[in-house]
C-alpha cells in the first residue's frame, strides 16, 4: 500500500498496538517514514509478519511467513488485515496469493 507521511505514522502506531496486544516486543520496529527499512513482528518460533518499504519509502508491504498450519497464524493475519482495512480502507490494500 502507498501511504503519506501521516499515514505511515498511523500505520506504525497500529502495528505497535497489534504487537503489544500479542505480547510481541516492539523495540526492533523501525520507523518507516523517511527511510527504507524492514522489520518483523515475531508471533512465534516459526511465524512472523515481515514489514518493509524497500521498493519505495512510501510503499509498504506486509507479508506473513510461517511453517505452521494456517489455522495457527491465520487468525492473527486476518485480525491485522481487518485493522488495516478499517484504518486505510479496503481498496487501499492489495493481496497476493493466499
Flag whether pLDDT at 97 surpasses 70. Answer: no
Predicted structure pTM score: 0.90
pLDDT digits (tens, 9 = 90+) for 61-86: 999 999 999 999 999 999 999 999 99
Q: What is the pLDDT of residue 96?
A: 61
Q: What is the pLDDT of residue 91?
A: 86
Q: What is the pLDDT of residue 35?
A: 83
pLDDT digits (tens, 9 = 90+) for 4-46: 999 999 999 999 999 999 999 998 898 888 888 899 999 999 9
* Phi and psi angles of residue 87, each rounded to the nearest 5 degrees, phi first: -75, -45
Burial class of residue 59, CB neighbours in 10 A (0-12, 13-18, 19+): middle
Three-state SS string across the chain, please? Answer: CECCHHHHHHHHHHHHHHHHHCCCCCCCCCCCCCCCCEEEEEEECCEEEEEEEEEECCEEEEEEEECCCHHHHHHHHHHHHHHHHHHHCHHHCCCCCC
Amino acid at each position: 500500500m502507498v501511504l503519506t507521511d501521516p499515514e505511515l505514522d498511523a500505520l506504525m502506531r497500529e502495528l505497535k498496538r497489534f504487537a503489544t496486544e500479542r505480547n510481541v516486543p516492539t523495540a526492533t520496529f523501525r520507523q518507516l517514514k523517511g527511510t527504507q527499512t524492514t522489520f518483523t513482528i515475531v508471533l512465534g518460533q516459526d511465524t512472523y509478519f515481515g514489514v518493509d518499504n524497500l521498493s519505495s519509502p512510501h510503499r509498504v508491504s506486509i507479508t506473513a511467513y510461517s511453517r505452521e498450519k494456517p489455522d495457527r497464524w491465520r487468525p492473527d493475519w486476518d485480525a491485522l488485515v481487518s485493522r488495516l482495512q478499517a484504518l486505510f480502507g479496503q481498496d487501499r490494500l492489495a493481496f497476493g496469493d493466499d
